Amino acid sequence: MFKRTKEYLADYESQFMKLERHCRKQCRDWEDIIKELHIDRGSLLGSEQYEEMTGVERAEALLKVDRKITICHDSIDIIEGRRSNGVSVRRGFKHRCARIRKNVSALSDEGLGVKD
């Protein structure tokens, strides 16, 4: 029984590390898109075309960019939700697996092997 427990926990840790790497990579990609959208929003605010728009047109133009930013944040939330429920926990291992998740989540990107 003890050997199976060790094997299960080692397997759980490797699966969660794989999932954590994948989620961090995806979140980083979405965060890069958010940065680009904020740059686009700033360039829109500083453009001459924006100055020539009426109030309603300005609001609509900003709303389009803001909606895209919101979609990106929602996507990050979905990814983080999948990460927390991505690897199933066997009965009786809830607390030990939670400790593993906490330790793996605390690792740096280098510790996980996340590449740019």
Domain assignments of the chain as residue spans, ordered by start = 2-112
What's the helix, strand, coil split of the chain in %, to 5? Answer: 85, 0, 15
Average pLDDT for 46-54 = 90
- The whole-number pLDDT of residue 94 equals 85
pLDDT at 104: 86
Residue 116: per-residue pLDDT: 60
Q: Tell me what the mean pLDDT of segment 62-73 comes to.
A: 96
pLDDT reported for residue 1: 47
Residue 75 reports pLDDT greater than 90: yes
DSSP structural state of residue 107: S
What would the DSSP string read from start to end of 52-103?
HS-HHHHHHHHHHHHHHHHHHHHHHHHHHHHHHHSS---TT-HHHHHHHHHH
